[in-house]
Chains A and B, each alone.
Chain A
Amino acid sequence: MPKFSVDNSIFLPQVVRLIEEGHSATIIARGDSMRPFIEDGRDKLVLGKADSIKVGDVILAEVSEGSFVCHRIERISNGMITMRGDGNVIGTECFPKDKVRAKLLQVIRKGKVYTMATSRLWRLYSAIWPRLYPVRRYLLALYRLIWLHQLPHRFSKNV
């Protein structure tokens, strides 16, 4: 089956439009910023309307015009949302609540469907992973080494 890629700044507004019309949309996850649960190219995200959001939810936000980011809410205060990707060690996004465009409803991880609202594994992971932030750098390095078989850069043969 042929593949085609579309730039997010053009594609995601269309996805958001369909979500506003009452659909949910399934897209392929891109990027490493939601590791270790969600892996680039392998997993799929089911996005839907962000009717109610709370800390711990994963949302899609248009952080600046045409720029979409899908990360976990770390904090909501004074109408501003702070979010951080599970796979990010440094860097958060901070923006007004009205930039939220969709909410992650399900993840299809390695072919298996996890529904955010009900999956025990997801809820456990969501409760624990953000709390491990102080050692996240090392856990992600271990994840890359053990699960992805990626040596740290300085040990790579091809530099």
Chain B
Amino acid sequence: MKIKKGFEVRNICGENIIIAHGKENIDFTKVVTLNESAVLLWNKVVDAEFEEKDLVDVLLEEYEVEPSQAIADVKSLVASWKEAGLVE
């Protein structure tokens, strides 16, 4: 899978907000924000094809976390990205 073209993370007032460049209208009444670790993962895969396992590897490398926790967190994050229509 990969992150759809045209999405950019912008830091607005301390929040990492996803802006869709391809979309004409940016709806600030419903935004998708990324926390610190989600931004890290996003930046690692934003220009490439990736699998959930790649994200798990990044988490394990960057943070002290149990593999099972990392897998669960990545699953949940990717699910939310898919739900928000960010991933194809």
Contacts and interface: CB of A to CB of B under 8 A. Distances in A.
Contacts of A4: 15, 33
B19 interface: yes
Given A24-B25, A26-B26, A18 B15 contact: no
A118 B34 CA distance: 38
A18 B26 contact: yes
A72 interface: no
Contact of B27 (A6, A22, A26): A26
- Most B CB contacts (10 A, CB to CB) among A4, A10, A11 go to A4
B25 A44 contact: no
A26 B25 contact: yes
A11 B11 CA distance: 11
Nearest to A11: B13
B63 interface: no
Given A6-B15, A24-B26, 12 more contacts: A4-B15, A7-B13, A11-B28, A14-B12, A15-B28, A22-B24, A24-B24, A24-B25, A25-B26, A25-B27, A26-B26, A27-B29
Interface of B: 10, 12-13, 15, 19, 23-30, 33
Nearest to B13: A6
A61 interface: no
Contacts of A27: 28-29
Contacts, number: 41
Nearest to A28: B29
Interface majority SS (helix, strand, loop, mixed), chain A: mixed
Contacts of B33: 4
A92 B46 CA distance: 47
Contacts of A15: 28
Nearest to A29: B29
B10 A14 contact: yes
A120 interface: no
Interface string A1-38: 10010110011001100100011111110000000000
